[in-house]
Chain A
Amino acid sequence: MSTAGRGRLRALGLVLPLLLFILVTFVAPLATMLLRSIHEPAVADALPETVAALGEWDGEGLPPEAAYEALARELVRARGERTLGKVAGAVNRVRSGLRSVFTRTARDLRDVGAGPWRDVLEGIDPAWAEPATWHAVRQTGQRFTSRHYLNALDLQRMPDGSVARQPEERRIYVSLLWRTLLVSAVITVLCLLLGYPVAHLIAHAPERRANVLLALVLIPFWTSLLVRTTAWIVLLQTQGVINDLLVAVGLVGDDGRLAMIYNMTGTIIAMTHVLLPFMVLPLYSVMRAIPGQYMSAASSLGATPAQAFFRVYWPQTLPGVGAGSLLVFILAIGYYITPALVGGSKGQLISNMVAYHMQTSLNWGLAAALGGILLAGVLALYMLYDRLVGVERLSLG
């Protein structure tokens, strides 16, 4: 083997542990999760013959007897194999109320020996006489489905195959998505407004003072996220430090205490604070590389301080502004802990909904679809940035 080949092999050997680590802990879970958003085999695996029989059905009226017969047989088997719960859950998500129909039907079928199965099933539960029930079974019987993405966008597939909006009271995700984007944009702008002067101060201060200031920016960064967020609760709550101070000074009455936490205000304040270092650090690294001579040159050429800033300084900091904004925005739209702790019911973001579907409703497909949309949004943003500014100019400090 050539020396170069051996060298390459050794290099590969050195990065292999990290490569495997990333593969196992990042790429694989991400891929599985994204797959779940389009792949749901529970019904197809448990009720294969029913699904096949429903394939013959034209969707008008009720399905043929063969479908009833297959369903009756497979429900009993699924109950025995303990896959019934999964099937009932999947169907129930398409048409609520069907969970109990499935479990009751499977239970009652134990005592029935022979058909006609249509009469038997309709006898157990009248839901089997409704075409909508069978549409739900057929829909969930597809292994690959766009259902979760439609759901995540407040859409649904009608029995005739067309796509329509969810009924008014079930539309939540699109507005939440927009709210997440809006809040993230607000947080990004706030971080930029607060972080730019600080970064400028640090970048152009004498080294000793710059180190102290930089440490002040980084210390909260190194503090536990939970501690910082809890500190904001102490400060912002109705009986908290800030409200007490405002009352003591007389700016607000004791009965007019401001609601600054457990709502969107709390989420925005706490998240701006948490994400501020991600804005300051890229800005600082870009600003430090800008010699003070440029500003001197601008003023010697006749520019006012404002002209020198906006024409000479600001454009040179744009790579840092872009990097910081991109970083803060991307982190903000996926942020979970802070809104969960200080957001109350009004300050929740899309990630909290993902967590809800992961942990409470167990609708992992929908959670995966919401996550997939978020990921697509971030990638789109990244590409937009690349197109406008160029990723190679991204400076993360």
Chain B
Amino acid sequence: MSIASAGAANDTRVEFLGVDKSYDGRTLVVRDFNLRIRKGEFVTLLGPSGSGKTTILMMLAGFQAPTAGTIRIDGTSVENLPPRKRGIGMVFQNYALFPHMTVGRNLSFPLEVRGLEAGERRKRVERALSLVRLEGLEDRRPAQLSGGQQQRVAIARALVFEPDLVLMDEPLGALDRSLREEMQYEIRHIHRKLAVTVVYVTHDQQEAMVMSDRIAVLKDGVVEQIAAPEALYEEPERAFVARFIGENNRLRGRVVTVSGGLCEVEAGGERIRALRIADCAPGEEVTLSVRPERVSVNPESGVYGNQVGGTVRDLSFLGDHLRVRMDACGRRDFIAKIPNIAGHGAILVGDTVRIGWTVTDCRALDIETKGQ
């Protein structure tokens, strides 16, 4: 660990090394968390509630102390550093704007406690407000602002003292959908403009996909996979990740043969060839994962490495694509998405169809166990 961190020190902003956290001394809510965040990177901690993502953020901010392991910011262990000395900008879930202060006072608060003089404070507050496009609202109280405006003020307040690192804890959770998409764009824009390092926490996989350079997917306090959004979607390494990110057909099966990077799996009475991602041996159980948009209905024979039969149970027309639900491979909810392009064959409910997909679009993953 010392060699790796020493070599990477100058472009590393944050480093988690073997961090454990337990509140009651028995169960670990975060287990052996390791993550290196580069300067200027936008990293999202993604996971369902109870996955430990907020705990990790709170440890980085200094509100919680790790039970074991080390957290470093700019190469220095922050173990004994209180939150106020970490120089981290933080956006809280419900904004935590001080209700008794105007927007201007909220923004100048971190500057006042740092002892900046009035002229400089005014200049920085103005700059921060224009960054979030809220010029001229200094004298409003937080309660007089809309949810979106409050959110912007919270972001401006976390940035006004020019921290190198900004943490955001589900900052868009309280906003409605269209506003959320607008704010996602805006936060990304600010991130690029300021080149600040952002650690972002959300349970919304779409939000994580849109915004992040890299995503750490967490489950029950353990990292399932850390990768860029595309890689998480295209190359999930764990069954949980495949299920959590995007839609996906999951087939439970038993490995029959293994040859190098491929394996053959028996699932629902069909023999299916797949990429061998999990370290599996013949006779072991695996989860096969196939994205619905990679499944072809009634393909020409010989094009796909995997071809099985199925019966159409339900059709939904969704404009840009047709969603087909079938009985196939022993499942009653095998989904295929057929893009709405000219010439796709007419399919009716009750039809018997052939479906196919390539070997490389099918991944043999681990079996998910409940509550590890």
Binding site for B on A (CB under 8 A): 291, 293-294, 296-304, 307, 311-312, 315-316
Cross-chain pairs A/B with CB under 8 angstroms, 8 sampled: A293-B93, A293-B96, A296-B96, A299-B82, A300-B61, A301-B90, A302-B84, A311-B109
Give the docked Cα–Cα distance between A294 and B88 (Å): 16
Contact between chains at B100 and A302 (CB < 8 Å)? no
Contact between chains at B92 and A297 (CB < 8 Å)? yes
Q: Which residues of A contact B98 (CB under 8 A)?
A: 294, 297-298, 312, 316
Contact between chains at B94 and A293 (CB < 8 Å)? yes
Give the docked Cα–Cα distance between A106 and B263 (Å): 129
Q: What 0/1 readout, one digit per residue, does chain B (81-101) give for beta carbons within 8 Å of chain A?
A: 011101111101110101110
Q: Which residues of A contact B114 (CB under 8 A)?
A: 302
Give the docked Cα–Cα distance between A298 and B157 (Å): 11
- Contact partner of A301 (CB less than 8 A), chosen from B82, B100, B113, is B113
Give the docked Cα–Cα distance between A102 and B89 (Å): 87
**Given A296-B63, A316-B99: A302 touches B113 (CB 8 Å cut-off):** yes
Which of chain B's residues 104-118 have a Cβ closer than 8 Å to chain A?
A: 109-110, 113-114
Q: Which residues of B contact A297 (CB under 8 A)?
A: 90, 92, 96, 98
Q: Which residues of B contact A304 (CB under 8 A)?
A: 84, 113
For A315, the closest partner residue in chain B by CB is B100
Q: Which residues of B contact A298 (CB under 8 A)?
A: 98, 109
Q: Which residues of B contact A315 (CB under 8 A)?
A: 100
Contact between chains at B161 and A293 (CB < 8 Å)? no
A interface secondary structure, majority: helix
Q: Which residues of A contact B99 (CB under 8 A)?
A: 316
Which of chain B's residues 45-66 have a Cβ closer than 8 Å to chain A?
A: 61-63
**Given A296-B63, A296-B83, A297-B90: A303 touches B96 (CB 8 Å cut-off):** no
Give the docked Cα–Cα distance between A304 and B89 (Å): 15
Give the docked Cα–Cα distance between A294 and B94 (Å): 10
- Quick one: which of B88, B89, B110, B157 has the most chain A CB within 10 A? B110
Give the docked Cα–Cα distance between A301 and B90 (Å): 8
- Contact partner of A302 (CB less than 8 A), chosen from B92, B93, B94, B161, is B161
For A312, the closest partner residue in chain B by CB is B98
Q: Which residues of B contact A291 (CB under 8 A)?
A: 94, 96
- Quick one: which of B90, B93, B96, B99 has the most chain A CB within 10 A? B96
Contact between chains at B113 and A307 (CB < 8 Å)? yes
Q: What 0/1 readout, one digit per residue, does chain B (187-223) give for beta carbons within 8 Å of chain A?
A: 0000000000000000000000000000000000000
- Quick one: which of B62, B98, B157 has the most chain A CB within 10 A? B98
Q: Which residues of A contact B90 (CB under 8 A)?
A: 296-297, 300-301
Q: Which residues of A contact B87 (CB under 8 A)?
A: 302
Give the docked Cα–Cα distance between A121 and B83 (Å): 93
Give the docked Cα–Cα distance between A312 and B84 (Å): 15
Q: Which residues of A contact B161 (CB under 8 A)?
A: 301-302
Q: Which residues of A contact B113 (CB under 8 A)?
A: 301-304, 307, 311
Contact between chains at B84 and A300 (CB < 8 Å)? yes
Q: Which residues of B contact A294 (CB under 8 A)?
A: 96, 98
Contact between chains at A316 and B100 (CB < 8 Å)? yes
Give the docked Cα–Cα distance between A302 and B63 (Å): 13
CB distance from A366 to the nearest CB of B (A): 46
Give the docked Cα–Cα distance between A315 and B106 (Å): 14
Contact between chains at B92 and A303 (CB < 8 Å)? no
Q: Which residues of B contact A316 (CB under 8 A)?
A: 98-100
Given contact pairs A299-B82, A302-B114, enumerate 16 new A-B contacts (beta carbons under 8 Å): A293-B92, A296-B92, A296-B96, A297-B92, A297-B96, A298-B109, A300-B88, A301-B84, A301-B157, A302-B161, A304-B84, A311-B109, A312-B98, A316-B98, A316-B99, A316-B100
Give the docked Cα–Cα distance between A395 and B116 (Å): 36
For B97, the closest partner residue in chain A by CB is A297
- Quick one: which of B62, B84, B87, B114 has the most chain A CB within 10 A? B84
- Quick one: which of B88, B92, B113, B157 has the most chain A CB within 10 A? B113
Q: Which residues of B contact A301 (CB under 8 A)?
A: 84, 90, 109-110, 113, 157, 161
Q: Which residues of A contact B83 (CB under 8 A)?
A: 296, 299-300
- Quick one: which of A297, A298, A304 has the most chain B CB within 10 A? A297
CB distance from B331 to the nearest CB of A (A): 45
The 8 closest A-B pairs by CB, nearest first: A301-B110, A297-B96, A300-B90, A293-B96, A299-B83, A303-B113, A315-B100, A299-B84
Contact between chains at B110 and A302 (CB < 8 Å)? yes
Give the docked Cα–Cα distance between A303 and B83 (Å): 9
Q: Which residues of B contact A300 (CB under 8 A)?
A: 61-63, 83-84, 86, 88-90
For B157, the closest partner residue in chain A by CB is A301
Q: Which residues of A contact B86 (CB under 8 A)?
A: 300
Give the docked Cα–Cα distance between A270 and B50 (Å): 51
Contact between chains at A303 and B100 (CB < 8 Å)? no
Give the docked Cα–Cα distance between A296 and B58 (Å): 10
CB distance from B169 to the nearest CB of A (A): 10
Q: Which residues of A contact B61 (CB under 8 A)?
A: 296, 300
Give the docked Cα–Cα distance between A316 and B96 (Å): 13
